[in-house]
Structure 1
Amino acid sequence: MLAYRHAFHAGNHADVLKHLVLAQVLRYMGEKDKPYTLVDTHAGAGGYSLAGRYAQKRGEFESGIGRLWDHPDLPAALADYVALVKQFNGGGALEQYPGSPGLAQMLLRPTDRLSLYELHPTDNRILESFLGQRPHTKVLMSDGFAGLQKELPPPSRRGAVLIDPSYELKTDYAKVVGAVRECLSRFAQGTVMVWYPQVQIVEAAQLPKRLMGAAKEAPKGWLHVTLHVHRGEGDGFGLHGSGMFVINPPFVLHDTLAALMPLLTELLGQYEGARFTLEQDLGRG
């Protein structure tokens, strides 16, 4: 886990899907005056240089945010996400990409709380420098899975959790399911967002069904969206796509994604089989 650096992948198709959904959830949370808490269990560095050697080595952002950067007439939610990335760049050229903490910094209000967990010492140091002085913010170099016990329920009883480990270790898949159960047992009404990779291993294929089982008692149900952009490498490995599983989602999120996912698939797809899926369970009301 400590060897993983998201800088190699910043701004790729998986980041687009993850951060599009995150932005919509945080926009919705901000519509009510009462403060809320965002817990990010695997925060990363907070922002990434796309001109640096890590991002340039693979150039993954070019087939992700790069394909949206100058596209005209995007649907409102997609245009909002691109506008946030442009804000992070100060209105100039695409040279930086915000991680989830960077997006949170732009979307949370001063009264909202932010808890950021990151174990990689270099990324944690960058994150502390970037957001350590923000009011109501904690930057912790400790295990985000374990941290949920301390974070939930949040003081205002309004909150969201983002869970997106690297999944370099197969044990992360089971930890994610356990973390979701922990979240719902401590804070049943909370919104929980889980990002996961579409890769050819059993654990990844089984994760959505396991999350559905863990979320079956969630009061507002769940939403599951995937974006599959290419076949992967010739040997069957590589990141084919990704998914976001949202528990207790904003009620508007399904219709928002239904309107923009066909275009997003067209723009980010890298072969004729590119596709998306979108499904929802409305819960117990």
Structure 2
Amino acid sequence: MNYRHAYHAGNFADVHKHATLGLMIEHLTRKEAAFAYLDTHAGLGLYDLTSVQAEKTGEWQAGIARVMAAPNPPPSAAPLLRVVRTLNPDGALRFYPGSPAVVAALSRPHDRLALCELHPEDAADLRRRFAADARVGVHHRDGYDGIKALVPPPERRGLVLVDPPFEKPGEFERMRGGLAQGLKRWSTGIYALWYPIKDREPVARFHADLSMMGLKSAFAAELMIKPGDNPQTLNGCGLVVVNPPWQLDTAMAELLPWLAEALAPGIGSWRVEPLTLR
């Protein structure tokens, strides 16, 4: 309950996560049928980069600021860049979209968003922010309980984003359990699970556990901004995507090299690794 994402909004991990999210939402909008989006850890939804919290860490300056200034963005970066530019029409970078704002901007009038947030102040702010948007439902509850309660959606197509703060031990196990619950109820949904990369060993165990679940289609897309030899620091981050949209892995193989160079010139790295049982 102590975690507040406002201190970290727009950092490199946000850029990786939200650029991927934008690609998945654009894929879902290619069919006319409505889709549902469930966000298990929604946060505030939109962040002011001039706030006291954002200014205190300045993480966005090494994240979204670098990406917005980077030359030759690939087509796969377009959805997120478009949302950020729309929020900042004068060209000055002040507002950064959380995952709810990314999805709200890219989705259509007949699509639906369910946003779970456990922090009481953030949940209240989130409810105020989307009060005028009939597509959006805000739920002050634990996100993993939200998977049990809100899956499957009536639309029968869509995406679940699991993006916990990793502020206490056992989060990898909770994510695996949440995925298992979701797949049991909604086997055809898209699931995206975000994780930090500090020590490689817990990540490797997480990947191995997922591989043993017998997933039909899944991959991990990782972005590193540091060499990864210091397990006490945030070296990178990853997203596991289960039931990914068609050719998302190909799009990520285009996007991630550009992000790595923009965010960590000369030392950034990336990989896209399948997680199906071999």
Q: Residue 7 of structure 1 aligns with which residue?
A: 6
Tell me the CA shift for residue 163 of structure 1: 0.1
1:262 to 218, 240, 257: 257
CA distance in 1, matches of 2:13, 2:19: 10
Compute the RMSD of aligned alpha carbons.
1.9
Partners of 1:205 and 1:131 in 2: CA distance: 38
Any gaps of 5 or more consecutive residues in structure 1? none
Q: For residue 30 of structure 1, what is the aligned residue in structure 2?
A: 29
Aligned equivalent of 2:206: 207
Identify the residue that residue 268 of structure 2 maps to in structure 1: 274
Query: Aligned partners of 2:143, 2:161: CA distance in 1, in Å?
Result: 10
Match of 1:223 in 2: 219
Give the alignment's TM-score, normalised by structure 1: 0.91
Q: What displacement does 1:91 show?
A: 4.5
Q: Which moved more, 1:35-44 or 1:125-134?
A: 125-134
Change (3 A) 1:163 1:12: same
Contact 2:39 2:115 in 1 (8 A): yes
- Superposition map of 1:42-121 within 5 A: 42-121=41-120
CA distance in 2, matches of 1:151, 1:225: 26
Alpha-carbon distance, 1:202 to partner: 4.6
Q: CA, structure 1 residues 281+174, in 2 after alignment: closer, same or farther (shift >3 Å)?
A: closer
Shift of 1:32: 0.6
Give the structure 2 partner of residue 183 of structure 1: 182
Question: Contact 2:80–2:102 at 8 Å: present in 1 too?
Answer: no
Instruction: Output the TM-score relative to the length of structure 2.
Output: 0.94
Looking at structure 2, the residues matched to 236 and 281 of structure 1 have their Cα atoms a distance apart, in angstroms, of 23
> d(CA) in 2 for partners of 1:143 and 1:122?
14
Conserved? CA contact 1:30–1:108, under 8 Å: yes
Residue 212 (structure 1) shift: 2.7
Deviations 1:66-106 (A, max 9, x none): 11113332101113321211112234310111100111110
Per-residue CA deviations over 1:110-131 (Å, capped at 9, x if unaligned) read: 1111100001112111110111
Deviations 1:213-248 (A, max 9, x none): 33x233xx012110110157x974121100010000
Q: Distance in 2 between matches of 1:22 and 1:70?
A: 21
Judge conservation of contact 1:7–1:48 (CA < 8 Å) in 2: yes
Secondary structure, counterpart of 2:38 in structure 1: strand
Please give the secondary structure, in 1, of the residue aligned with 2:212: helix
In structure 2, do the counterparts of structure 1 residues 282 and 138 end up closer, same or farther at CA, with 3 Å as the change threshold? same
Aligned to 1:136: 135
> 1: distance between equivalents of 2:201 and 2:253?
28
